[in-house]
Structure 1
Amino acid sequence: MEMPTKTLKGAATFKEAPTFKDQRRERIIQVARSVFYEVGYAGASMSMISSRLGGSKATLYAYFNSKEDLFEAIIREQCGQIADLFLAHTGTDDLRATLAVMGRELLTAIMSDEAVRTFQLIVEESHRNPQLAEMFHNVIQSQGGSNLVNLLQAAHARGQINAPNSQEAAMVLKSLIFGDCHFKRIMNLAAQPTEAHLSRQVDLAVDIFMAYYGSKSAG
């Protein structure tokens, strides 16, 4: 059976309903995420996660070979949502408006409780398990990072910005959007920003970005 959903432009489209296997996998990820957040990455185990699920350990291992694989699935799910966000905004006509909307969506996503706690877990574990941090970095680059670069490449090709080094431009844009509010959130020095604060941060970031990259293409 197919379930109706909506595209960004409001047109009806369809996608297949999740199978029992998909639902079971998502349930495992949800439970594992709560265990990781509660006891940390080092403190979590497949036995603990299996116990919280209420099923056999064999069922858990049928989906994931290790807690490393399970944590990677959590990372990929979160990064995939951000990657889709960049993809949805690629190739639009009004770049400034697009970056403002995208920036607010991005900042909201990375400042969420789930995203912040995942980032904190990786930082906590990075000394004991540098491979975990490397995996996180690689997933970010292969999913969200590459899609943001592609967005800016498309804008450069359309003459909306002058950014031949799209990777550098992506780094600049992310740094401007994150500002110091993301760092403070990671350090538990600030709560989730208000909508007004978030909009102000993003609008300022887009203005600075376009002043540097956009003005040259206009000249």
Structure 2
Amino acid sequence: MKVRTQARREAIVEAAARLFQKMGYERASMNELSKRLGGSKATLYSYFSSKEELFTAVIHAYATQHLTEAAEELTAYDDKTETLEDKLMRFGKRMLKVLVNDNSALSVYRMVVGEAGHSDIGTLFYESGPRASIEKLSALLAGAMDREELRVGDPYIRALQFLALLTAETEVRIYQRQSQPVSLARIHEMTRCAVNLFLYGAAPPARPAPANLK
């Protein structure tokens, strides 16, 4: 009996990522992957019981692990000196660094968008990372509402709204053939814009009352 190893598992995931990107989720098969790896299907299935499980591993490795880790940091420790704004800024910058500069992640996103309408790829993608991350972000925002740091509302919807603001300037990159790298300074600026709009809205600052009305 062959011993399963982490190195072999990672090699399978890497080869699967290339196969999915080249052939798409629907056309790719475990049989084709085993041929490319030069091993048997039995060995492949000893690591991953289905194409769906393998694709989930690819998504996590190349597209959502950063999101999961960033979300876990939101509630990993209780730093009394760190504000809600600080936490949202750290989360946003870490997320955007991958979204705008990781070509492997971008390839996965494009594949999901392209095939979501005629397969379960969208659900697999959502369940592999975004769902848990949105739940953790929701929990953070719910706590802020309890402390009256945010207006009361549905924390899940608020989490979705924040993510929409955060990715508003990056969504177009999915549809571009080639995208230029984004500097860390620009990532900070995009995150700051999203956080400010989420926390303070788009209305202009209140103007001071005229002197004769004071």
Flag whether TM exceeds 0.5 (same fold).
Answer: yes
The letter of the residue matching 2:27 is: G
Distance in 1 of aligned mates of 2:113 and 2:131: 20
Asked if the contact 2:15–2:37 (Cα under 8 Å) also holds between the matched residues in 1, the reply is yes
Matched, 1:109 2:94: no
Aligned to 2:9: 25
- Pair 109,157 (structure 1): closer, same or farther in 2 beyond 3 Å: farther
**Corresponding residue to 1:58 among 42, 60, 63:** 42
Q: Give the 3-state SS of the residue equivalent to 1:126 in structure 2.
A: helix
Structure with greater Cα Rg: 2
- Pair 24,156 (structure 1): closer, same or farther in 2 beyond 3 Å: farther
Aligned to 1:79: 64
Aligned to 2:74: 89
* CA deviation map 1:26-76 (0-9, x unaligned): 221111112212232233221222233232221001122332221122224
* CA deviation map 1:117-160 (0-9, x unaligned): 1111112222331x222232334453221121122223333443
Aligned to 2:19: 35
Identity %: 28
Aligned to 2:184: 195
Q: Give the TM-score taking structure 2 as reference length.
A: 0.78
* CA deviation map 1:158-213 (0-9, x unaligned): 443334421121111111111132x211001633322222111111111111214x
**Corresponding residue to 1:135 among 112, 124, 139:** 124
Distance in 1 of aligned mates of 2:109 and 2:71: 20
Matched, 1:186 2:171: no
Distance in 1 of aligned mates of 2:130 and 2:67: 11
Q: Give the TM-score taking structure 1 as reference length.
A: 0.77
Aligned to 1:161: 150
Matched, 1:69 2:53: yes
Distance in 2 of aligned mates of 1:25 and 1:146: 29
The letter of the residue matching 2:11 is: R
Distance in 2 of aligned mates of 1:147 and 1:22: 28
- Pair 139,163 (structure 1): closer, same or farther in 2 beyond 3 Å: farther
Distance in 1 of aligned mates of 2:173 and 2:87: 25
Query: Which structure has the highest strand share of the two?
Result: 1
Aligned to 1:204: 193
Q: Which runs of 5+ in 1 are unaligned?
A: 1-18, 213-219
Aligned length: 192
Tell me how large the CA RMSD over aligned residues is: 2.3
Asked if the contact 1:83–1:143 (Cα under 8 Å) also holds between the matched residues in 2, the reply is yes
CA positional deviation for 1:113: 1.2
Distance in 2 of aligned mates of 1:60 and 1:187: 33
Aligned to 1:47: 31
Distance in 2 of aligned mates of 1:145 and 1:175: 12
